[in-house]
Structure 1
């Protein structure tokens, strides 16, 4: 369990409704796709106005839609010895995320994530979990992961919405840099946490880097997306993903997405009666 299920969940995090009720400082949900009004302040570069924020927000928040996506991947992680691993991740938009991890043709782990929670089983050790999203948030030292945010993370989509008053957008040599001017507050039933957020986009408005730093601790997360590829249905997706977790927990995972397929597939998930349930503390 310690080897397979945390890796499976972390892998799902890199890729993203009835989501956990969180609230950011702006009053919007973290998974909101609202854009700024036409009277928004312009983006600046060396003091020069280059575009209004409405156009920029439309580029980073609005994307072509799809119903089904199968991702074939290879995974390398620094906390296990048996990598790289082969993985299949299947997304049915707004409904479920199903995943399978294989090693040497052996199906080692499987997961089913819905807006209601997370189910995952370790076939190697014959264990399983059945939990809400608190398990994933605790594992990653954050509190903003719900189903819709997870879906967006899987796809390299922007999952935080900053207000006009709390966002600095600057055109730089790498594209566009977005920074929160003050900490973003996210409230859940467990309490409140504040984050400093930085997002770098390419000149083509592809998300390149997300930096999240907890204002109250040394915990931080960085996600890097690269080699974006335009699919035949006009959906653009990253082929390479890197996630780094720092602070009280440290981890690094590299993912190479080798194939994207937008057809429907079967997603079997059933736990044998002999498997032991792991209780989440």
Structure 2
């Protein structure tokens, strides 16, 4: 089974350690203080409840996700593979891909970078995350946002000073009222942003449109379920538009919080892909 390693990496790691403006919601107290709503036409306490629910990350040590992964691009179709995703809070995201119980690829992301190998063509990658932002037509994703994206949490910075919160019949909408500037290694891009939440604050959709190009990233979540003291989405769909186009789909079939071993070593005969 031929799996281009860079397409695999797009599925494995949507992250960038060097994005200057990205997720800034790890500290609950600081985040809520920074994002207090200013719109006094709506009840202040109602807005505070919203921000508390969408910004505070779930408290967990680790979570193991059994999933089905499929990837489509305008040039490549990756048949559905069995995936094990293991997230250790603030430490690592490890993924193992199998087909018919045979390991075909493995990868690991930490705040220091990413590593992955592909058994099909005996190649591997050892890099920081800037290239993956280019692959995804973005420049704003960081390591922490990878955790939040996979777990269905708000993975970009939102602020009442720069977003408008609207109550809808189906839930809530956060829309940027000014373009969101994202900086990475001297590169600046601006995005129009919309986030949609259900009435119970489950994240439903994130749309980020580059204001100067057709590049856009859309993430959709569906079929949420309770797990321990928080909720997780069973379906995650990542849609890449613009200069590069494709879809990454995760169908999560089981959640577990037991610790597992996360081995990673590249065979000596594999060839490194330089990027």
TM-score norm. by structure 1 comes to 0.88
Question: Where in structure 1 are there 5+ consecutive unaligned residues?
Answer: 24-28
Whether 1:41 aligns to 2:38 is yes
Question: Alignment length, in residue pairs?
Answer: 269
Q: Note if contact 1:36-1:57 (Cα within 8 Å) is conserved in structure 2.
A: no
Work out whether residues 37 and 44 of structure 2, in 8 Å CA contact, stay in contact via their aligned partners in 1.
no
| Residue 151 in structure 1 maps to residue 150 in structure 2 | no
CA contact (8 A) 1:13 1:154 kept: no
* Aligned counterpart for 1:55 among listed residues 49, 56, 63: 49
Q: For residues 50 and 163 of structure 1, what CA distance do their matches in structure 2 show?
A: 15
Whole-Å separation in 2 of the counterparts to 1:172 and 1:178: 10
SS at match of 1:78: strand
Q: Cα offset for 1:70?
A: 0.8
Question: What are the residue-to-residue correspondences of 1:3-22 with 2, within 5 Å?
Answer: 3-13=3-13, 19-22=17-20
Q: Quick check: 1:172 aligned with 2:168?
A: yes
- Distance in 2, Cα, partners of 1:38 & 1:149: 18
Trace 1:75-224 onto structure 2 (pairs within 5 A): 75-79=69-73, 80-224=76-220
Separation in structure 2 between the aligned mates of residue 21 and residue 64 of structure 1, nearest angstrom: 23
Aligned partners of 1:43 and 1:51 also within 8 Å: no
Q: Is the 8 A contact 2:180 2:191 kept in 1?
A: yes
- Structure 2 unpaired stretches of 5+: none
CA distance in 1, matches of 2:126, 2:168: 45
Residue matched to 1:30: 23
SS in 1 for 2:95: strand
**C-alpha distance in 2 between matches for 1:43 and 1:205:** 21
Quick check: 2:191–2:210 contact (8 Å CA) kept in 1? yes
Cα 1:84–1:21 shift into 2, 3 Å: closer
Is residue 226–residue 239 contact of structure 1 (8 Å, CA) maintained in 2?
Answer: yes
2:269 to 250, 263, 274: 274
| 1:218 and 1:247 in contact (8 A); partners too | yes
* Counterpart Cα distance in 1 of 2:237 and 2:252: 11
Write the distance in 2 (CA, Å) between the matches of 1:40 and 1:69: 32
Aligned match for 1:254, one of 232, 249, 255? 249
